[in-house]
Chain A
Amino acid sequence: MRRWLLAAVLLLGIAAAQTVGNKPPPDYPPKVFEIAKKLRCPVCRGESAAESNAGVTEEMRRQIAQMLKEGKSEDEIIQYFVDRYTDWILYEPPKKGLGLLVWLAPLIGLGLFGLGLYSYTHATAKREAAFEEAPEDEIARVEAEIARDSTRERE
């Protein structure tokens, strides 16, 4: 009997923990989060308006849902936030102006690396070709010089 009572109290406790202070998030369509993902949380660092639990992002998601209901397009909704916060609010840098440089930086880096690699391999190949092309009497002279030096060292 005591065991049953203990189990019932435990279950009641778990049920209470699930409901008290654990308000379920509003049931927004996935499109709301898709748009919120493209916007920065204004009061956080490195978090989008979709991930953050800050009060301001809750309001941003509510406003996005409201604007979608009113028939506004994704671009119009994003522009609404840009008009208030400048391009800073965009989670990814805009593909224009200096923001474009950020997008192109990996390509520029890759291009520079490729060029460097090409010039290095080209120079090495050139050096090897020059060695292969050396006249036989020159090779014999260098070999004799090396042999002479090593004999001297042994003496």
Chain B
Amino acid sequence: MNAKSLLGLLAVVSLGVLFWWGIKTKDAREELPSALAGKSAPVFEMELLDSFKAEWGEKLNLADYLGKKPIILNFWASWCYPACYQEAPILEAGWRRWRDKVMFIAVDTQDEKDKGEEFVSRFGFTFPVVYDPRGSIGIDYGMYGVPETFAITRKGRVVERHAGSLDEAMLTKMVQEVLK
């Protein structure tokens, strides 16, 4: 093989490697890896939306629930339309179905409180929702955007993350994963 062919081969291989890398690099939020996979769920203590204070107390501390039951942690906001509106009834139905085995907690993130309350009453949420106007819990969980859902085992490990609207099958899969 002469120098010219070697040079051509090198150029083709380099372009091929760059092309492969470009394809491999994922940017769709739902395909991005979670840095938390397999790690302990970050704990937080945050004020609940007013509707939940009578039943769940003034604040919710995640540490109080870790170790008792697996947790489905969901992030939403009233301005997140239509994704959060599509999955809201599925979450409430899931909570009613699995509440004996799995704890559901939601975080209303970067929202206006009254709009968050409206959302809660519209979908009749009965599982606790904390109010995080700054979105600091979302940063702790490496959240890319709402809605996003994390499955946490009873031992407090994050085993799955889903970015985007949940459907029934996805929620069932997440619940089965944490109940293993």
Contacts and interface: CB of A to CB of B under 8 A. Distances in A.
A120 to B, nearest CB: 9
B18 A112 contact: no
A55 B18 CA distance: 34
B10 A112 contact: yes
A119 B141 contact: no
A42 B145 contact: yes
B3 A112 contact: no
A124 interface: no
Given A85-B35, A86-B35, A56 B10 contact: no
Nearest to A60: B139
B4 A119 contact: yes
A67 to B, nearest CB: 12
A101 interface: yes
A105 to B, nearest CB: 6
Nearest to B34: A86
B110 A82 contact: no
Given A43-B145, A115-B7, A83 B139 contact: no
A84 B138 CA distance: 10
Contacts of A115: 7
Interface string A20-55: 000000000000000000000011010000000001
Interface of B: 3-4, 7, 10-11, 14, 17-18, 21, 27, 32-36, 110, 134-136, 138-145
7 contacts: A43-B145, A59-B134, A59-B139, A86-B32, A102-B21, A115-B7, A119-B7
Interface of A: 42-43, 45, 55-56, 58-60, 62-63, 81-86, 88-89, 98, 101-102, 105, 108-109, 112, 115-116, 119
